[in-house]
């Protein structure tokens, strides 16, 4: 491919700028939907119907004073926000937003994407630990405990998709779904969405950042531009998570009439709205309830789905 | 889980937020707001200043009343309890429904307007 | 075994007012709690001694923003006992109506706060939206949404006109339907039940031993409610029930409050029917006779006590208040032991704390900078000596 087009694709569309744009739009959609579920208005004044509110929040935080407390581990403390933004951005480049991904796909890139998410959680722990604040340390340890619980069902439900389609490349999985796998593998879809909610640290699983208990968890000591980047990283994780769920379960960009990118974004919006709906329905679970619930309910369900897909979908190759 | 249907239905309902200050909910008839003071009814007895629980009424000299005094109201100290209206023997003080009294300057909250009852 | 101390407060998202708990932790499990308060001491008891009897009503109203009506009712009852007068019957029913409206608004506020502490913001938004109806009713009757200032010494100052009654009844029907829905949510929602069942357990013996009051005690199957034990202002003529649950946990306290809201709605309807036209207050002299009196009412949080003493002047000689949150704090410290950090907001919210009401008497010797508190035995000995009742 022409190197210039390649670089433009990485930087602008559907690359970094487009992903940042999507991050702000999805945060707006999430906040508006969450507010409407609660009979409120949501963002209203920044731009038409509040659409510029996430950007306004980002700019406001960037303009604040950048404070590094005295006793923190400054190498980790100062650099984690940048790494936290880079990981979802890099991972999203492997997902075929407009039919083909930006970076060259290869067999096994689903493992790469899920591992990148694991590394993100390690960074969350390091951020909380480096803050040397009592509340941050509690938040960091809770993040690791939660990670032990949701990571396995997520991997196993992704593996059942791989087992059904017969390929470990996200591109191939998303292009080979005549019927979306959410309908063929409903148990796996529900397990994946639940584990996604835990990975994105949203209610009912926002335990590492529980606002009413430990102030702000692992984010407590961050302020100003570093906090702006961490919040942007959360939004980018939402974009990446919904993109991965769409590619794996909802059939990627396939659909009649409209171009693939439009279908992809519509499906991602569906996942985001589903996530906001779940967010407004539940109370926050306690960490031991979450871990025991995952091990007692989600993991057996995902293993069941894996077994079913092995015996019902065996031999379906993508050719 | 128990609220699944109810929460979903709210997606299609109008939000209950009142877009103040572009929309306002009407206050009740008995709402206790800013005072209105009728100078021609006042006799300068000073009962209002004595009764005020928040010490928000001060008597200043005036030549329009029999006793040579009239009250002024410090709205930043007032608790809008209506004792001044109740105790006034000549019904010279009345609390209206106006409540938008926020200000940047405390000196602007000294209420010394006089009205003539018609 | 090394323990770890975390201070929660005086500034914390979980605690609405300035209060400090020092938790001694073993990992995530709470081993001990040391409360420390006095951050919101405003000198109200001293300020009462500088204001006249009528001005004291407004000061008593501002002790607490949520339970202001019981404070004024209790103060007026105590002062009326000193005067030795009885208020007219219609005034008693009006006092019941405004007290029960205040109880509904306080309990609905609490349900929302419980939802927010547990991260369930949807319940918070819905319940506070319905609470606006109660505030509008109070505004219609008395002129202010939060501090109605309806009591005066000798009765009440605002009356309910016949035009207001259908509006009140319509709003009460709406509130009853919504409260029954929230009761259903509390009984069926799995995440709420997981966070509140078995959490913050206070057994019946401990509740009686530590003198818990209000819904905190009634959820541990202790049948104590001032409206039934010691009826004031004609509560014995109103037809409603005392609500107790025997689950002894946060869920039980939530259910007690929800059921009490429904009972309050019934009580208001019954009082509206039974009210007959008549005067709503009696005139009293400016200066009361010499004497002292105590009155207790059932505030939404528990039993509230006011004591006034008059020595024939136009200001009180002494006024003392004992608020229900102060009585529930030892029970709270007992409830927290053995639970996780994650349960702290739920348990602390379950006693419905109102720290601005909480005060304590502490002796300080300015000369040598020592401060101490009296124990129960020392207090008892001092009171026997003061009243000349023997050693």
| Cα–Cα distance for residue pair A37/C122, rounded to 1 Å | 8
Structural domains in chain A (count): 1
- Nearest one of C106, C243, C263 to C180, comparing CA atoms: C263
Q: Could you say which of A37, A41, A44 has the minimum Cβ distance to residue B11?
A: A37
Tell me how close the Cα of C238 comes to any Cα of chain B, in angstroms.
28
Tokens 């009210």 identify what position? C275
Asked whether the predicted pLDDT for residue A53 surpasses 90, the reply is: yes
Assigned domain for C258 exists: yes
Q: Could you say which of B1, B7, B27 has the minimum Cβ distance to residue C190?
A: B1
Assigned domain for C23 exists: no
Q: What is the mean pLDDT of residues C13-36?
A: 81
Quote the percentage of chain B above a pLDDT of 90.
47
Structure tokens at B22: 């572009």
Tell me how close the Cα of B22 comes to any Cα of chain A, in angstroms.
13
- Interchain CB contact of C349 with A (< 8 Å): no
Structure tokens at B76: 């930043």
Cβ-based interface (< 8 Å): residues of A facing B = 33, 35-41, 44, 277, 280-282
pTM of the model: 0.90
Question: CA–CA distance from C194 to each of A28, A286, C118, C221 (Å)?
Answer: 31, 9, 11, 22
CB–CB of A283 and C192 under 8 A? yes
CATH number for position C164: 1.10.645.10
CA dihedral A68, A74, A75, A77 (to 10 degrees): -60
ipTM of the complex: 0.90
Assigned domain for C36 exists: no
- Interchain CB contact of B32 with C (< 8 Å): yes
- Nearest one of A214, A278, B67 to C7, comparing CA atoms: A214
Assigned domain for A224 exists: yes
More confident residue, A136 or C162: C162
Q: What are phi and psi of C27, to 5 degrees?
A: 80, -115
Using only the alpha carbons of chain C, give its radius of gyration.
21
Region of poorest pLDDT, from A54-58, C267-271, C330-334: C330-334
Assigned domain for A164 exists: yes
Structure tokens at C286: 């400016």
| Cα–Cα distance for residue pair C61/C43, rounded to 1 Å | 14
Q: Which helix (H) or strand (E) holds C320?
A: strand C318-322
For Cα atoms A51, A53, A55, give the angle at the middle one, nearest 5 degrees: 100
Looking at residue C371, its pLDDT comes to 61
Query: Which residues does A191 contact at the CB level (< 8 Å), separation at least 6?
Result: A153, A154, A156, A157, A298, A301, A302, A305
Q: What is the mean pLDDT of residues C278-296?
A: 92
DSSP, collapsed to helix, strand or coil, labels residue A214 as coil
Assigned domain for C129 exists: yes
Confidence of residue C363 (pLDDT cuts 50, 70, 90): low
pLDDT tens-digit readout, C22-33: 888 887 788 888
Region of poorest pLDDT, from A241-250, C35-44, C203-212: C35-44
pLDDT tens-digit readout, B107-116: 899 998 888 8
Asked whether the predicted pLDDT for residue C308 surpasses 60, the reply is: yes
Looking at residue A313, its pLDDT comes to 62
Assigned domain for C35 exists: no
Structural domain boundaries enclosing A211: 3-312
pLDDT tens-digit readout, A79-123: 999 999 999 999 998 888 887 888 888 888 899 999 999 999 999
- Interchain CB contact of C188 with B (< 8 Å): yes
Which residues are paired to C6 by β-bridges?
Answer: C23
% helix, strand, coil for chain A, step of 5:
70, 0, 30
Query: Which residues does A8 contact at the CB level (< 8 Å), separation at least 6?
Result: A15
Structure tokens at A88: 């979802």
| Cα–Cα distance for residue pair A145/A139, rounded to 1 Å | 10
CATH architecture of B27-111: 2-Layer Sandwich (3.30)
Looking at residue A318, its pLDDT comes to 44
Contact call for residues C357 and C63 (beta carbons, < 8 A) = yes
Structural domains in chain C (count): 1
For chain B, the structural domain boundaries read: 27-111
| DSSP letter for each residue of C240-253 | ------S--SHHHH
Region of poorest pLDDT, from A285-289, B30-34, C247-251, C304-308: A285-289
- C-interface mutation test, from A35, A145, A203, A213, most C Cβ less than 10 A away: A213
Q: What is the mean pLDDT of residues A138-167?
A: 88
Asked whether the predicted pLDDT for residue C367 surpasses 80, the reply is: no
What is the overall mean pLDDT for chain A?
A: 88
């Amino acid at each position: 491919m022409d190197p210039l087009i390649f670089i433009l694709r990485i930087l602008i569309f559907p690359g970094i700028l487009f992903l940042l744009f999507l991050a702000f739009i999805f945060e707006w959609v999430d906040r508006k939907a969450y507010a409407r579920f609660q009979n409120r208005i949501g963002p209203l004044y920044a731009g038409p119907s509040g659409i510029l509110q996430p950007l306004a929040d980002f700019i406001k935080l960037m303009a604040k004073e950048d404070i590094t407390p005295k006793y923190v581990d400054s190498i980790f403390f100062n650099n984690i926000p940048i790494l936290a933004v880079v990981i979802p951005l890099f991972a999203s480049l492997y997902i075929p937003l407009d039919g083909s991904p930006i970076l060259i796909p290869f067999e096994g890139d689903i493992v790469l994407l899920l591992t990148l998410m694991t590394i993100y959680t390690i960074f969350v722990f390091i951020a909380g630990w480096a803050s040397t604040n009592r509340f941050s340390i509690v938040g960091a340890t809770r993040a690791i405990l939660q990670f032990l619980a949701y990571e396995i069902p997520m991997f196993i439900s992704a593996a059942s998709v791989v087992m059904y389609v017969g390929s470990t490349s996200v591109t191939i999985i998303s292009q080979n779904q005549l019927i979306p796998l959410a309908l063929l593998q409903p148990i796996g879809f529900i397990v994946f969405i639940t584990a996604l909610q835990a990975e994105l640290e949203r209610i009912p699983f926002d335990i590492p950042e529980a606002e009413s208990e430990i102030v702000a968890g692992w984010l407590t000591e961050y302020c100003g531009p570093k906090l702006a980047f961490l919040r942007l990283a959360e939004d980018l994780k939402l974009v990446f998570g919904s993109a991965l769920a769409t590619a794996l379960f909802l059939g990627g960009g396939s659909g009649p009439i409209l171009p693939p990118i439009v279908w992809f974004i519509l499906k991602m919006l569906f996942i985001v709205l589903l996530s906001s709906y779940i967010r407004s329905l539940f109370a926050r679970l306690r960490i031991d309830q979450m871990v025991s619930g995952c091990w007692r309910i989600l993991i057996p369900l995902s293993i069941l789905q894996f077994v079913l897909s092995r015996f019902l979908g065996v031999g379906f190759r993508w050719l | 889980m128990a609220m699944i249907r109810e929460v979903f239905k709210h997606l299609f309902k109008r939000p209950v937020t009142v877009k103040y200050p572009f929309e306002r909910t009407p206050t009740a008839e008995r709402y206790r707001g800013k005072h209105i003071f009728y100078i021609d009814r006042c006799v300068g007895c000073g009962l209002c200043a004595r009764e005020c629980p928040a010490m928000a009424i001060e008597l200043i000299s005036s030549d329009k009343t029999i006793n040579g005094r009239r009250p002024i109201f410090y709205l930043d100290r007032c608790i809008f309890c209506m004792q001044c209206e109740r105790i006034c023997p000549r019904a010279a003080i009345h609390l209206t429904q106006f409540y938008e009294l926020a200000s940047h300057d405390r000196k602007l909250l000294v209420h010394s307007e006089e009205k003539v009852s018609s | 075994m090394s323990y770890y101390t975390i201070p929660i407060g005086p500034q914390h998202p979980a605690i609405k007012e300035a209060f400090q708990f020092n938790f001694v932790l073993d990992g995530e499990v709470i081993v001990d709690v040391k409360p420390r308060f006095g951050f919101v001491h405003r000198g109200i008891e001293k300020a009462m001694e500088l204001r006249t009897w009528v001005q004291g009503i407004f000061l008593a109203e501002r002790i607490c923003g949520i339970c202001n009506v019981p404070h004024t009712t209790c103060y007026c009852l105590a002062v009326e006992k000193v005067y030795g007068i009885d208020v007219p019957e219609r005034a008693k029913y009006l006092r019941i109506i405004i007290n029960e409206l205040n109880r509904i608004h306080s309990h609905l506020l609490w349900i929302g706060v419980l939802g927010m502490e547990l991260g369930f913001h949807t319940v918070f938004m819905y319940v506070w939206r319905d609470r606006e109806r109660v505030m509008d009713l109070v505004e219609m009757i008395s002129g202010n949404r939060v501090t109605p200032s309806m009591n005066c010494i000798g009765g009440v100052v605002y009356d309910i006109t016949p035009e207001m009654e259908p509006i009140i009844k319509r709003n009460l029907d709406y509130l009853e339907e919504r409260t029954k829905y929230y009761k259903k949510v509390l009984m069926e929602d799995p995440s709420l039940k997981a966070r509140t069942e078995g959490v913050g357990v206070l057994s019946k013996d401990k509740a009686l031993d530590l003198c818990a009051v209000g819904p905190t005690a009634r959820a541990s199957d202790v049948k104590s409610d001032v409206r039934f034990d010691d009826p004031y202002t004609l509560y014995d003529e109103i037809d409603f029930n005392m609500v107790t649950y025997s689950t002894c946990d946060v869920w039980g306290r939530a259910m007690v409050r929800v059921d009490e809201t429904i009972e309050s709605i019934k009580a208001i309807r019954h009082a509206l029917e039974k009210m007959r036209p008549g005067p709503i207050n009696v005139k009293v002299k400016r200066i009361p006779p010499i004497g002292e009196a105590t009155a207790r009412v059932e505030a939404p949080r528990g039993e509230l006590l006011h004591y006034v003493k008059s020595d024939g002047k136009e200001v009180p000689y002494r006024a003392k208040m004992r608020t229900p949150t102060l009585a529930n704090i030892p029970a709270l410290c007992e409830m927290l032991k053995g639970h996780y950090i994650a349960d702290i907001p739920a348990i602390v919210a379950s006693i419905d704390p109102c720290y601005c009401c909480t005060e304590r008497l502490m002796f300080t010797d300015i000369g040598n900078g020592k401060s101490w508190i009296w124990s129960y035995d020392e207090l008892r000995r001092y009171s026997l000596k003061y009243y000349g009742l023997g050693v």
